[in-house]
Structures are given as C-alpha cells and as structure tokens.
Amino acid sequence: MEKIVSLCKRRGYVFQSSEIYGGLNGCWDYGPLGVELLRNIKEQWWQSMTSREDVEGIDASILMHPRVWEASGHIENFTDPMVDCRECKARFRADQIGDAPCGSPAYKGRRASKCQAEGKFTEARRFNLMFKTFIGPLEDSSAAVYLRPETAQGIFVNFLNVLSSSRQRPPFGIAQIGKAFRNEINTKNFLFRTREFEQMEMQFFVPPGSDEKWFDYWKEERLRWFLSLGMTKEKLHFHRHDPLELAHYARDAYDIEYEFPFGWGEIEGIHNRSDFDLSRHEQYSGKSMKFFDEQTKERYTPFIIETSAGASRSFMAFLVDAYREEEAPTADGKTETRVVLGLHPRLAPVKAAVFPLVNRDGMPEIAREIARAIRPHFRVFYDDSGAVGRRYRRQDEAGTPFCITVDSQTLQDQTVTVRDRDSMRQERVGKDGLVPFLRAKTA
C-alpha cells in the first residue's frame, strides 16, 4: 500500500486533502491523473448502465428532506458501535478493532486489541454516521438536514417522477453517480474508508416474485463489469451476508470483494431490498408508491435490487490491481526494475505520450504537431525532457498505454514508433494513421 500511496502522490493521482494545513482525516483530493481515472471509471459504469433500454439516469441533490432519513431507517439504524479507551482517550469502532494501533504515544507499536483485552475500553455506544448541518440561517432542530450517506434514497424518492416522465415500467432501473458522506469513526487504508466518497448506484424495480431472478442476474452482471475492465479474476470473489450481517432492509446480499494488500474488502454491494424502501416512503410521505400494471390489472409495490459500488473504492482496487514491478532490459544491455500501472486502456488517464527522440532535426516540431492532431480525440502528453528510456519509464508508471516516438526515420517516411506499455514492443505506424490506431486499441 505504501508504494501505491507514494506513486499516487508522485504521479498526481491522489493528494491528501488540505495538505499544506496538515491534511484532513478521511478526505482526499484527486490530482490531474486521478481525476481522469475516476472520470473514466464513472463513465464506463454510466455507459454500461444507461446504454441499456431498461435503465434511466438521474442526479438528485445531496441535501434532502429530513423525513427521508426517518423513512429510510438511517436516523434509527445508521450507527456504528463506538468505544473509547479510558487511558489514552482514543476512539475506535468496536467491531473493527482488529489490529488498529493504540492511540497512546507511550505505547507506540501496541495494538488497541491488547488495551481492549486489558479492560481499558468503555462500553460500546451507538454513533450515527450521518453528517448533520442546518438549512437557512437558524441553527435549530427544525432546520437540521443531513449530508446524504448514500445516493440510493435520491432514487427511491424519484421513483414516481421517473415512472411518469419516461416510458419505463418494472422491471426497470434508475442509475445515479454522486457524492456520499459518512462520519466514519476510524478512516483507514487510504481511499478504502473515507468520510467523503462517491458512489455509483443503480436501483432496479421489479415485480415481486421476480426479485430472486433479477438479484442473480445483477450479481453476475456486476462481477462481469469489473472483469471487463481487466481486473484479475482471482482477486475478486463474492461474500454472501449471513442472516445476522444483513442490513435492516435486505432480504439477501452479496458483496463483491477485492483482495487488497491489507486483505479482502467490499467494493460493491448487491442487495435484494424487497419492498422495504417504497413501502416506507409510502408510509412516511402518504403518497402511494405502488405501480398499476395495465396489462394484468394488478397493483403492487415493486421490489428493489440494488447494485451499489464505491467509485473511490473501485478506483483504489483498479490501481492496486494494475500496479506491478518487473525486471526490464535497459539500453546498455543491463536490467532494471520498472514500475508499471497496467490500467485497462479504457481507464488509463492519458492514452498516449508523444516524444521526439532527440531535440533537433525538426523532431520536436513534428512531435508537437502529432500531439496537437491527437489531442481533440484522446488525452495525450508531450514530453521532450531526458533520455527516451526515462520518458518511457515515467509513462509506464503513470499507466499510459502507448508512447509515440518521432525519430530519424520519421523524417524520411512519415512513420513513428508506437511502443506498447505492457509488452514494450514497438511497431511503426504512419503518423496520419495514429488516431484510428489509438481508437482501435483503446476502445
């Protein structure tokens, strides 16, 4: 993990939030390459959902009517058990102490589980993870609102709107990507558990009785999505929630877990939420959330199959999965270790880098002209500084799948070399054919 965190900073993937002020715990900023990778992940997800004829998209506001969170059960149930160490005053999530470090500088290196075993902890108290704020100038309880802890509720409360404004009828889904906020007791493992993050959620509304079929369908579909973007099959598995683990709304639930360097961790949850959500919103809002099927003349509350992925957690899983170190030959016949981010070309932030082999004989001008011609179609990076081998290594580490080099042969026959990041093989391509070449390779 340390290597990945440091690469993220070095190459401009992720920075600590408010770093010059010492950082803000559980918050991270995406740098020039990170923002592109995150956008690409979200774009791939959005495409995979909304290119279907049975899924519509929405973008609901982050602040919602406070009754939403009563209906959803978040006010009552969205809590984690919290314990304090009487000695060092550090605070922990009681069910996740594991190997968390003790908060006392006097006990450097000690694990909090030891302090727990020694009876230093208070009884567990329930702590609600929703961030509370106030709408308007008065900070009283009637003005309290919450930063949404999940994007799903924005979809449920718009169910009737989408139904009446689109031509959809169950089974159909609503997709949304957006920020969510959780005041996690302990943030950890870089982007894995943060206080502000993004979710990619799709809620699929189905007639009761067909829920199990659709649950199985979406479970497989979502795993396939991660695999289609190059994630290693052996590093992904399903974890089924046992009855005690199930959330208050869930009938059945599977997590897609990825094997991070710190162990298996959930990157997406697929839940059969039954008719819990629409029934509760019907009860709390007084509006019927039922669907009337004209053909069968039946009126029913649709069941919901939820696919809920973390964009930020997926970002980290894609990064971890792509990172490798390998021995590679140098120009003088030796070998050196090269760091490669083998991101799928569709996810790679920059699709190609363009280099002049040397800074003379008109090569920089031709290379710049090539970069200018490609830029309207793909993100490209121009670099003319240092030995070409070094420039390749920098791009390998940044995850750029192709490096285009202008050399002396270009001056004679208008071809350039295109080097493949993974195989390091080079081929000659006519400079006017670069856009179609890249389009075919990054599609």
Note the residues at the interface with ligand ATP (CB under 6 A).
Answer: 150, 182, 184, 193-194, 197, 199, 266-269, 308-310, 312-313
Closest residue to ligand ATP, judged by C-beta, is: 310
Question: Of the two residues 249 and 392, which places its CB atom closer to ligand ATP in the complex?
Answer: 249
Measured CA to CA, the distance from residue 372 to residue 380 in angstroms comes to 9
Please, which residues have CB within 8 angstroms of residue 47's CB and are 6 or more apart in sequence?
Answer: none
Residue 222 is encoded by which pair of tokens? 């979502």
User: Tokens 């208050």 belong to which residue?
Assistant: 248
Q: How far is the CB of 121 from ligand ATP (least distance, A)?
A: 21
Cis peptide leading into 171, omega within 30 of 0? yes
Question: Of the two residues 200 and 371, which places its CB atom closer to ligand ATP in the complex?
Answer: 200
Q: How far is the CB of 181 from ligand ATP (least distance, A)?
A: 9
Q: How far is the CB of 189 from ligand ATP (least distance, A)?
A: 9
Q: How far is the CB of 249 from ligand ATP (least distance, A)?
A: 11
Q: How far is the CB of 148 from ligand ATP (least distance, A)?
A: 12
Question: Of the two residues 205 and 249, which places its CB atom closer to ligand ATP in the complex?
Answer: 249
Q: How far is the CB of 265 from ligand ATP (least distance, A)?
A: 7
Q: How far is the CB of 27 from ligand ATP (least distance, A)?
A: 10
Q: How far is the CB of 394 from ligand ATP (least distance, A)?
A: 29
Question: Of the two residues 117 and 227, which places its CB atom closer to ligand ATP in the complex?
Answer: 227
Question: Of the two residues 267 and 289, which places its CB atom closer to ligand ATP in the complex?
Answer: 267
Question: Of the two residues 88 and 129, which places its CB atom closer to ligand ATP in the complex?
Answer: 129
Contact predicate 92/114, CB 8 Å = no
Question: Of the two residues 269 and 401, which places its CB atom closer to ligand ATP in the complex?
Answer: 269
Question: Of the two residues 38 and 309, which places its CB atom closer to ligand ATP in the complex?
Answer: 309
Long-range contacts of 23-27 (CB under 8 A, 24+ apart): 25/187, 25/195, 26/184, 26/187, 26/193, 26/194, 26/195, 26/196, 27/194, 27/195, 27/196
Q: How far is the CB of 281 from ligand ATP (least distance, A)?
A: 18
Question: Of the two residues 254 and 381, which places its CB atom closer to ligand ATP in the complex?
Answer: 254
Q: How far is the CB of 129 from ligand ATP (least distance, A)?
A: 9
Which residue(s) pair with 176 in the sheet?
Answer: 201
Question: Of the two residues 68 and 370, which places its CB atom closer to ligand ATP in the complex?
Answer: 68
Q: How far is the CB of 52 from ligand ATP (least distance, A)?
A: 21
User: Tokens 């479970």 belong to which residue?
Assistant: 219
Measured CA to CA, the distance from residue 314 to residue 307 in angstroms comes to 13
Question: Of the two residues 274 and 312, which places its CB atom closer to ligand ATP in the complex?
Answer: 312
